[in-house]
Amino acid sequence: MSTNLRQIPLTCSGHTRPVVHLDFSDVTDSGYFLISACKDGNPMLRQGDTGDWIGTFEGHKGAVWGVALNRNATLAASGAADFSGKVWNAVTGAEVHNFQHKHIVKTVAFDRGSENLVTGSNEKLLRVFNLVNLVDDTEIYTGHTGAIKRALFCRNDKCIVSAADDKTVRLWDRLTGSEIQRIDFVNNPNSLELSSDKNTLIITHGSSISFWEIDPLKKLKEIKVPTNVASASLHPDKHIFVCGGEDFKMYKFDYITGNEIESFKGHFGPVHAVKFSPDGELYASGSEDGTLRLWQTIVGKTYGLWKCTEPGEINNAISSPREVHAN
């Protein structure tokens, strides 16, 4: 197929403030889903392959900084400036749990069985809440000296990895509750992602993206990019990765060689979040401009709302950016 096709992103509007984080579910019987965190305080759920709006989770009284979907898209979670971490029924939109904190909650993540939720906050603490037995004592991890930006379960949920504004990424053992490894950076780490096979950790810091084997935690490679990078995502097959940051552009790189493949200017503000879909066919981005955009991994392929009539020819139905609005 021709490689000179123009990348035509789908633009998902509906938010009224910057979009700062997003997450995909796994592929389910109903396809896959996308959730977005926004400073407007209203996390939104969308159909992942089209961007079509499904619903808005209403209840936060401040900017939402972090979101998560569980694997089968039955539960959603959000962390916000109203000092709360909430868990939602992603089918009905109803609030299921409200976990109060003493400061802004920046990050939320489920374990693989949706039995536990980790939160990280400006209290510099990590907490793990048991969603099955709420009377269990909350796990608390202390040691970071700056606000926590991201936290994820890893190593088959036996550990937690966290990034904070103290220029460190730390690994915590849930059995002992103690820090077992620490990585120091020159700049504050901005984002964390685990590859789809859960074996590779992707960290953005300054204008670099570093890739780490998660068990044992050791660096595989580090790649410099042309901007201060806020977020990066590794394709499920680990051949390419995408990233975005301060210069409004979306970049695609060859993971093996570290060479830039292409870049696209699509947003009208810095890019805060990027993420590959679970099938790797597209990647989503969230920006200061208040929009989400969906980009094709292989430009010109028939997928979702992108229709390809002839090799190298895109149907007129998608010849201009499509706006996907929240009703």
3 is a domain residue: no
Sheet holding 189-194, edge to edge: 189-194, 200-205, 208-214, 217-224
1 is a domain residue: no
Helix (H) or strand (E) holding 163: strand 159-164
65 is a domain residue: yes
pLDDT at 137: 78
39 is a domain residue: yes
pLDDT at 3: 52
pLDDT at 321: 38
pLDDT at 312: 47
Q: What is the pLDDT of residues 184-240, one digit of tens each?
A: 999 999 999 999 999 999 999 999 999 999 999 999 999 999 999 999 999 999 999
Residue 266 in this model has a pLDDT that exceeds 90: no
Taking the complete model, does pTM exceed 0.85, yes or no? Answer: yes
197 is a domain residue: yes
φ, ψ for residue 288, nearest 5 deg = -60, -25
pLDDT at 19: 98
Matching residue, tokens 């400073």: 39
Please list, in sequence order, all residues whose beta carbon lies within 8 angstroms of the beta carbon of residue 316, skipping any fewer than 6 positions away: none
C-alpha 150/C-alpha 128 separation (Å) is 13
pLDDT at 316: 36
Cβ(24)–Cβ(34) below 8 Å: yes
pLDDT at 318: 37
C-alpha 269/C-alpha 267 separation (Å) is 6
What mean pLDDT value characterizes the chain?
Answer: 93
5 is a domain residue: no
CATH number for the domain including 199? 2.130.10.10
2 is a domain residue: no
| Structural domain boundaries, residue 70 | 10-324
Q: What is the pLDDT of residues 45-66, one digit of tens each?
A: 999 999 999 999 999 999 999 9
Domain count, the chain: 1
Which of 314, 247, 249, 243 has the alpha carbon at shortest distance from 283? 243
Write 206-212 long-range contacts (CB < 8 A, 24+).
207/245, 209/241, 209/243, 211/255, 212/183
191 is a domain residue: yes
- DSSP letters along 25-36, please? ---BTTB-EEEE
